[in-house]
Amino acid sequence: MQTKNMCGIAGLYHPEQPRPLPQERVAAMLAPMRHRGPDGDGLWHAPGVVFGHLRLSIIDVAGSPQPMHGSEGRFTITYNGEVYNYRELRAELAALGHRFQTAGDTEVILAAFSQWGAACLSRLDGMFAFAIHDAADGSLFLVRDRLGVKPLFLAELPDGSIAFASELKGLLALPNLRVEADATAVEDFMAFGYVPDDACIVAGIRKLPAGHYLHIRRGKPMPAPQRWWTLDFSRRITARVGEAEEHCFQLLRAAVRSRMVSDVPLGAFLSGGVDSSTVVALMAEASPHAVNSCAIGFDEAVLDETRYADVIARRYATDHRMRIVSSEDFAIADTVAAHFDEPFADASALPTYRVSQLAREEVTVALSGDGADEAFAGYRRLVFQHQEERVRRWIPSALRRTLLGPLGRALPQMDWLPRPLRAKATLTGLARSGEEAYALAIGVTGPDMRAELYSDSMRARIRGYSAEERWWRTMRAAPAAEPLDRAQYADMMIALPGDILTKVDRMSMAVSLEAREPLLDHHLVEFAATLPANMRVRGGTGKWLMKRAMERTLPRDILYRPKMGFVTPLTAWFRKGLAEEARALGASPTLAATGWFDMRAIDRLVTAHQSGRIDHGRQIWQFFMLEKSLKKLFSI
């Protein structure tokens, strides 16, 4: 039986001197994260280090205590996550002479680190963030999983010590932490609706980036994080379509089955889209019992997918439950914002919280369909990018900039049309480089609108910094064979950990629910990166090979219906049920107190939206969530 460690971790470490550190401070860091591990806690200390741990019991409920010491006493770990191939690793390590006192994956990680050091990470198949202290040299090793499923925040404190925690609120519990806003993180948030994976809204705090480790050695300068994994799009498979399709299906099947091990009730989120339907279908194939599934619908019929979820639920005889989200659910916005700490404006967080609540009524573990859009190019923006890049190859850049750019700017904005029919967006996109166009396509508030919304003092504070530059750099440096690869690589490195996985982690853990993402199995993701572009995007749609692979299991009207996405009807809400709340933003004392914005510009934005001339629903939601976050973080 496995010792399950889905939880929260925290700790203090002094890199200069092994002097005693206050255990009560780590206990205080754990307290606001109790939702991550309500089933138990533990503290451990040695000269110059204190580790804390919170536990959510999933497998081997009696469990092994954490923080845990290795059998030889040299290494100590505090660990959040799960390693799915721990049994195979345990057998390999036992053959090398290691002996185990427990039946779980925590002790396997300790033995693997003892045997191979940082090289053990490439052998771990799972989601994790952990800290290991080495008593032999007093060093601290911090690591985060390949794709950033599990979070880890870091801060260097005024006394020279290093603090880490699973959530920002854990660090904010420290009395000696200086709390000031980072202006460039505000710019990032305004551009994309979240603070990126390696940044933080609080100056001096950062996140350990996904796929990186940090090895801090006592008495040595603080090193930079080291990348231990990345996704390589530069290689191409040579298999025929039939072979690739079969391999894809077997990888999907193995990924789902590996994540179904649990000693507590297990279920799935089911939207009725391709991804969640794939997960539920493969769960039903592997399970001797009815799969417990749950779905969220909306009070705006055009965005409601529950009828498709019902189709899958009936097809696979799941134990299915559904709940409707309406503008009245705005009442939980404060709760949602509090669990993110940093401002987070992906409005699908609200239904994700509701579906997590619904799931938690019956299960402790839920499988989600997140990740396939990034891995197999399922997003419409990726399909558009792929199509636009083909046009760019035929039209010289000078002609695109001098002819298409001015023409696009002269046309009216028509947000109500599907993107392929928005001539303004298409022409202005073609006038730019692929990197520039994609960074704008994935954004929430573009640079021109941000310039109008910012005050003079805010423009001076960010000193010419542009949030889009992160995307340009990432796409240009991508290990890629063609433009579609570059866009997908940036999605995987920036948007996936910063937005999608942050949303799922915080909203599921808010209700003490463990979410697992089988479609982000690294074997599956690495395979998808080797596919030729025409096995990802074909016929104007994405996820081509994955859909082909699932034709043997899922109905065609689920596989090939138009993509809707897990969105909320913000546009309608802010013109009807939440109209008054939207109008109040222009007079928000919290937003005004920052000095970052022209409050009259916010008022004009709301007025334009409510007139029906233009859709600013996402921007209004941004300001709502920013306001709520600032009240919590900076007491303004």
The CATH number of 241-377+493-559, from 3.40.50.300, 3.40.718.10, 3.40.50.620, 3.20.20.70, is 3.40.50.620
Could you give the angle at which helices 380-394 and 434-441 cross, rounded to 10 degrees? 160
Going by pLDDT thresholds of 50, 70 and 90, the confidence category of residue 388 is confident
Comparing 375 with 423, the larger pLDDT belongs to: 375
Any idea which of 41-55, 60-74, 349-363, 585-599 has the lowest mean pLDDT? Answer: 60-74
Of residues 103, 164, 506, 515, the one with CA closest to residue 341: 506
pLDDT, tens digit, for every residue of 517-538?
999 999 999 999 999 999 999 9
Of residues 376, 390, 368, the one with CA closest to residue 488: 376
CA 138, CA 217: separation in Å to the nearest integer? 7
CA 51, CA 351: separation in Å to the nearest integer? 34
End-to-end CA distance of the chain: 49
**Cα→Cα distances 575→324, 387, 611, Å:** 20, 34, 8
> Can you give the residue ranges of every domain in the chain?
6-227, 241-377+493-559, 569-636
Three-class SS of residue 12?
Answer: strand
DSSP state letters, 593-630: HHT-B-HHHHHHHHHHHHHTSS--HHHHHHHHHHHHHH
Q: How far is CA 119 from the centre of its chain?
A: 25
Total Cβ atoms within 10 A of residue 243? 11
Q: Is 271:550 a contact under the CB 8 Å cutoff?
A: no
pLDDT of residue 462: 94
User: Is residue 398 over pLDDT 90?
Assistant: no
CA 598, CA 588: separation in Å to the nearest integer? 11
**3 state SS for 333-349:** HHHHHHHHCCCCCCCCH
CA 466, CA 113: separation in Å to the nearest integer? 40
CA 393, CA 319: separation in Å to the nearest integer? 51
pLDDT of residue 299: 77
**Strand order, beta sheet including 365-367:** 319-325, 292-298, 266-269, 365-367, 514-516
pLDDT, tens digit, for every residue of 325-342?
888 888 899 999 999 999
What six digits make up the tokens of 44?
């451990």
Could you give the angle at which helices 434-441 and 469-476 cross, rounded to 10 degrees? 130
pLDDT, tens digit, for every residue of 119-131?
999 999 999 999 9
DSSP secondary structure letter of residue 583: H
| Helices (runs of H) and strands (runs of E) counted in the chain | 30, 17
User: Is residue 343 over pLDDT 80?
Assistant: yes
Q: Is 133:75 a contact under the CB 8 Å cutoff?
A: yes
pLDDT of residue 2: 42
Cβ neighbours for 37, distance < 8 A, ≥ 6 positions apart: 6, 7, 8, 53, 54, 55, 56, 512
Q: Is 388:434 a contact under the CB 8 Å cutoff?
A: yes
Location of structure tokens 């290689």: 235
CA angle 432, 438, 440 (to 5 degrees): 80
pLDDT, tens digit, for every residue of 141-191?
999 999 999 999 999 999 999 999 999 999 999 998 989 999 999 999 999
Going by pLDDT thresholds of 50, 70 and 90, the confidence category of residue 37 is confident
Three-class SS of residue 515?
Answer: strand
- Provide the whole-model pTM: 0.93
CA 174, CA 37: separation in Å to the nearest integer? 20
Q: Is 434:385 a contact under the CB 8 Å cutoff?
A: yes
CA 514, CA 147: separation in Å to the nearest integer? 17
Three-class SS of residue 143?
Answer: strand
CA 36, CA 405: separation in Å to the nearest integer? 49
CATH code assigned to 6-227: 3.60.20.10
> For 284, what's the count of Cα atoms within 13 Å in the CB-facing half-sphere?
21
Total Cβ atoms within 10 A of residue 244? 20
CA 66, CA 78: separation in Å to the nearest integer? 6
Going by pLDDT thresholds of 50, 70 and 90, the confidence category of residue 3 is very low
Q: Is 496:211 a contact under the CB 8 Å cutoff?
A: no
Q: Is 240:326 a contact under the CB 8 Å cutoff?
A: no
Name beta bridge partners: 324: 297
Q: How far is CA 110 from the centre of its chain?
A: 27
Sign of CA dihedral 534, 538, 540, 546: negative
Strand 162-165 vs strand 205-207: parallel, antiparallel, or unpaired?
Answer: unpaired
DSSP secondary structure letter of residue 331: G
Q: Is 195:498 a contact under the CB 8 Å cutoff?
A: yes
What six digits make up the tokens of 77?
């770990």
